[in-house]
Amino acid sequence: QVRLMESGGGSVQAGGSLKLTCAISGYTRTRTNWCMAWFREAPGKDREPVAAISFGDGSTVYADALKGRSTISQDKADYTLYLQMNSLKPEDTAMYYCAADSCPGGVGSWYTGKGAAVLFGYWGQGTQVTVSL
């Protein structure tokens, strides 16, 4: 059973930075064709993709939400996923979730489009990010 647990959220002023962490357990070394991703969901809005990464080769894709202001990365030895966010804006306020699932073809642009959430079957509980002026 794959389990995901996010941490690192909090309150920050506009222009600040946060680094989110997602600890992954139950993931076996044989699952190299897996992808992981960060999503966010603001009150009253749909869950939207932020970025995704292929566990196998480390290739990444970014959605428009935080493109140019975020970096997704992974520590394959510790099975940990990260999201570094910079130049945060009040509109970045949301619950941020990490997700994982198999992806034989690796990440692609379809991981950053509307509806990308259906590609993932494993989700964490989320970590709240609040950005104030």
pLDDT tens, position by position, 7-18: 999 999 999 999
The structure tokens listed for 58 are: 């480390």
For residue 133, what is the DSSP state? -
Q: Looking at the predicted structure, is the pLDDT value of residue 114 above 80?
A: yes
31-47 per-position pLDDT tens digit: 668 899 999 999 999 99
What angle is formed at CA 9 by the lines to CA 71 and CA 56, rounded to 5 degrees?
40
**pLDDT (0 to 100) of residue 76:** 83
Percentage of residues of the chain with pLDDT beyond 70: 95
Q: How many residues does the chain have?
A: 133
Q: Looking at the predicted structure, is the pLDDT value of residue 29 above 70?
A: no
Neighbouring CB atoms inside 10 A of 114's CB total: 9
- The amino acid at residue 91 is E
Nearest C-alpha neighbor of 126 from the set 96, 84, 93 = 96
DSSP secondary structure, 103-123, as one string: -TT---GGGSSTTGGGG--EE
Q: Given the structure tokens 């009253």, which residue do they identify? A: 44
